[in-house]
Every structure is written in C-alpha cells, then in structure tokens.
Amino acid sequence: MSVVAVYVPAASKRNFEIGLRESIWGWKPETAEKANTPEVLDGLKPGDYVLFGHRGPNARVPEGGWADAVLRELAVAQVTGAVYKDKATVWPDGVYPVRVRLDVLDLEATIAGGQLGAAAMEAFRLSANKQGAPVPVADPEVMTRLVDSIEQQPVASSDTRGPAAAWHGPNTSQAPDTSQDPDRYLELGDSLDRPVVALARREQARVRRAKFNGRSSIRCDLCGRELPQALVRAAHVRKRSQSNLEQRSHLANVMAACVLGCDALFEDGYIRVSSDGIVEVSEKGAASADLLAAARTLEGRRCTAHTPDSAQYFDWHWTNWAAPSAAGAVQAGPETPAG
C-alpha cells in the first residue's frame, strides 16, 4: 500500500468539488510527464491512498517549509483502478486526460502539519510546485497518524466544513435550508484496512446522529416497531459499497432498520420495496419455508423511508440486489450520480 499527495490550489476549488463528487481525478499531459511522475502514476494500484490537500500557504519556500503549515481542506481517497486516459468532459476548464478512479473515503477541514507529519507536508509542497502532480509520501505511518488524529476529534451532528458541506444535491450552488428535511444530504465535512475501518465507523456515527438526532428510541421504517436506539441500524438502502461519496452522504439513502430481522432481510435482498413504497417478499425470500414465513411478516407494510427522494435507491436495491441472481452479478463500483 502506497500513499501519494496531490495538491489542489485555491483557484481549482470547483474542479476539486467535481472530482470528489464524481470519484475521479485527472492531470494534464504536461503535468503527468514531469520528472518521475510517469513512474508514480504507473505504480498506483487499487487500494493505494491519494491524499488531496487544498488551500495551503505559499509553496515557494525551502524544503521543510510546510512542516507546520495548515491545509484548509483534505480529502482521503483510495485508488479503485489503474491509471487510464480518457477525453470525456468532466471538468469545465480542461480535459485532464490522464485519470484515475477513486473511492473518496473522507473529507477533513483545517489539517495541520503535525497531524500528517513532515514527510506528507513536504510531498504536498512538492506537488504544489509541480502543478498538482502526485508525489509519494515517504512515511509508512502517515495513514495511521492521520486516522489517530481524526479519531480524537468529536463527531458533530452537523458540520459545514469542507467541499462536501455544500452538497445538498447535484446543484451545489443552491444549498437549501435542510435542518428540518429528513431527506437532506449528510454534510460529510469532517470525516472515512485499519484506516478504512476507522473512517467508516466515523462516517456511521455521523450518519446516525444526522438521521436519528440522538433519539433514545427509533421507529423501524420496515416493521414500524418503536425500539431502543441500540436495536436500530442506520442502514443504507443502496448498498454502501456500491455508493459513491455523494450517494453515501444523501440521507434519503439511509433508513432505520431494526436488528430483529428487518435489517438482515433487506440487506440480503429477501425483501424489497416496490415503486409505491410497499414491502414485498423477493424471489430470494422464498428460499426456505422458515425464511418465507419471516419475510411475510413484513409483506404489504408501507415502508416509511420510501419518498420521492429515496425512490432511486430503493429502485437500485430492487434491480441489483433483491433479484434472484443480483447479489452475484453486482461487480462494478459505484457509478457517477446523475445530474
């Protein structure tokens, strides 16, 4: 597992937001061909980490000059495929044809040099002086150090920091007041194997706080039972592993599902929710008499999480997971969201 640093200047904020939303990053040919950059790009493989630093200080300083610097935003991503070339339009100001697909795990704000270490900050400084070329981080402990520093920070129920804070839908220029909207987008501005597991736990804690607002008892959206919060999961409708950052942050993609059977029955596709919001037993749910009996206790109920905003996620579950052979057929990662 290797880690590279990519610096994104303040002037490229829009490109930064688009790249994170679309789970992709690209470089111009002249940047990708600088010095040892071709070897760095060729060496990137699935599972490697890319740290994106945004809005740092003046990079025209001597070596080590960024050791105590502050990055106003940091994105943590994992590579999901080999570097490739593509001229399809993604960013409005250029093609950036040398590209890599990413799984954006985490967004942080105001990261200090001490949290990342001198080697990582030097890699960011070098990247800033190479027009954003990827620079290897010569520190095998950088991810552990970063995760440790993140875990020490409290998990806020609402955070307006970072580029994802403006994501209330595909149009990021018009962010409505979502404080009373249950289908709002979760603001993933302060946080996402140990690094992956730790960041996923932090994401889950934020999802629960944003969705359930600290309630001691929660009503299951499938069976309708009011239960202690410890017995209710914040379950993704569209599987989390098949959702990109924007889809994971959309609270319409999260429902309350109890551990008394509902969570597992939906998660494994034994039940599904129809286009009009009614719980049905899927073909998979008839695999045995006992399973069918358990699934039928929910049949015909209205799923209270089904709304116009969440319908797209229930449709995905119906088509890709609750069909008889769907679980084995889903291989690709999350696709780019519409809009």
Instruction: Flag whether 80 is in a domain.
Output: yes
Instruction: Flag whether 37 is in a domain.
Output: yes
Query: Is residue 18 domain-shared with residue 130, that is, in the same domain?
Result: yes
Residue 133 near residue 52 (C-beta atoms within 8 A): no
Q: Give the residue from 144, 170, 198 where a domain finishes.
A: 144
Query: Is residue 132 domain-shared with residue 244, that is, in the same domain?
Result: no
pTM (2 d.p.): 0.70
Instruction: Flag whether 171 is in a domain.
Output: no
| Residue written as token pair 């008889």 | 324
> Helix or strand or coil: residue 312?
helix
**What pLDDT does residue 246 have?**
83
**What pLDDT does residue 338 have?**
34
Residue 231 near residue 261 (C-beta atoms within 8 A): no
Query: Is residue 222 domain-shared with residue 332, that is, in the same domain?
Result: yes
**CATH number of the domain encompassing residue 72:** 3.10.590
Instruction: Flag whether 62 is in a domain.
Output: yes
Query: Is residue 39 domain-shared with residue 125, that is, in the same domain?
Result: yes
Show the low-confidence residues of the chain (pLDDT under 50). Answer: 157-180, 186, 188-192, 326-339
Query: Is residue 8 domain-shared with residue 130, that is, in the same domain?
Result: yes
**What pLDDT does residue 330 have?**
42
Query: Is residue 45 domain-shared with residue 138, that is, in the same domain?
Result: yes
Please write the tens of the pLDDT for every residue from 100-132. Answer: 999 998 888 889 999 999 999 999 999 999 999
Expressed in angstroms, the distance from the first to the final Cα of the chain is 34
| Residue written as token pair 């209330």 | 168
Residue 57 near residue 121 (C-beta atoms within 8 A): no
Instruction: Flag whether 202 is in a domain.
Output: no
**What pLDDT does residue 244 have?**
84
Query: Is residue 259 domain-shared with residue 133, that is, in the same domain?
Result: no
Residue 334 near residue 244 (C-beta atoms within 8 A): yes
Q: Give the residue from 144, 174, 202 where a domain finishes.
A: 144
Amino acid residing at 54: H
Distance of alpha carbon 197 from the chain centroid: 13
Query: Is residue 10 domain-shared with residue 139, that is, in the same domain?
Result: yes
Residue 37 near residue 171 (C-beta atoms within 8 A): no
Instruction: Flag whether 189 is in a domain.
Output: no
Instruction: Flag whether 162 is in a domain.
Output: no
Residues 6+ apart with CB under 8 A from 87: 95, 97
Instruction: Flag whether 106 is in a domain.
Output: yes
Degrees to nearest 5, angle at CA 54 with 63 and 46: 90
Q: Give the residue from 144, 166, 193 where a domain finishes.
A: 144
**What pLDDT does residue 249 have?**
83
Domain span holding position 67: 3-144
The two structure tokens encoding residue 37: 């950059």
Helix (H) or strand (E) holding 257: strand 254-258
Number of domains forming the structure of the chain: 2
Please write the tens of the pLDDT for every residue from 205-220. Answer: 788 889 998 899 999 9
Ramachandran assignment for 277, one of left (phi > 0), alpha (psi -120 to 50 degrees), beta (any other):
left
